[in-house]
Amino acid sequence: MVALLWDALFGEPPTRWHPVAWIGSTISFLRPKRLGHPSGNFAWGLTVALLLPTLVGLVGWGVMQLDWIALPLAVFFCTSSFSIRCLGEASQKVAQPLSHGDLQGAREGLGWLCSRNSSNLSPSELSAATIESVAENASDSAVAPLFWFAILGLPGLMAYRVVNTLDAMWGYRDEREWLGKASARLDDLLNWVPARLTAALLLLADSANARRGATAAWSDARSTSSPNAGWPMATMAGLLGMTLAKRGHYTLGGGPEPKAQDIGPAWLICQRAMRTWATLVLLALLAAAL
């Protein structure tokens, strides 16, 4: 509860004090300077994908064995694993410049949300990419971390964040493909339930358009290369009554292309969904503790 309140009021800690940044630095250190044969890359990637989350999870378990300092440390690590406030701020880094016709500023702002090449994206594509990223990250930044915290406590939360960061850094179809193959599949597994849960929470958050959102999710969620990302993204497309598309990859929903002013409503839906999930998890944990 304290970690969620801290995130809402202050957001994430500075980079130099951010555990996820420390994890990212560790992952960068563990990446081979030269990628060799695919089988060797896969073996090393599998080793890191299994051992690093385990080790970090054990750190979380060790924190909980401490006395008076356990609670503040647990709050610190929990807060660092959520990105709820930061997600909303990142969406505005695209929406604000885009609404003023500043395409370059909007393209730079999109880099805070995803790794997509934005150099040739149109205003509607920038809006769509932002809305898609906000919907997808509602799962990665809030629903999934809270899901694994509720099931496995602080160790589960911290291990999940390691896997998610590994996938974000190595899980690409380029020279890193075999290095990141194991972490990408593990991330898919850990996000299978949270992604679908996020879609349901989005429907609950915008119940007036839930039928339209559910129809889009059922028909289009499987059209993305990820087995999970399509569920919240397609649901959002249906709720907004718009088409969210990535050129040459997928088309979700139906209707007009989004504009800068559609980013705000999408964020509000995600915000309501994440708050609903946080409330449900807190109530469940309090009930279990009584």
Total tally of structural domains belonging to the chain? 1
Domain that holds residue 26: 2-289
Three-class SS state of 252: strand
Best CA proximity match to 198, nearest among 152, 245, 143, 259: 143
Low-confidence ranges of the chain (pLDDT < 50): none
Q: CB–CB of 183/69 below 8 Å?
A: no
Report pTM.
0.94
Write the CA distances from 24 to 14, 29, 56, 77, integer angstroms: 14, 9, 12, 15
Q: Tell me: the pLDDT tens digits for 221-259?
A: 999 999 999 999 999 999 999 999 998 899 999 999 999
What is the structure's pLDDT at 290?
87
What is the structure's pLDDT at 43?
96
Distance CA 74, CA 68 (A): 11
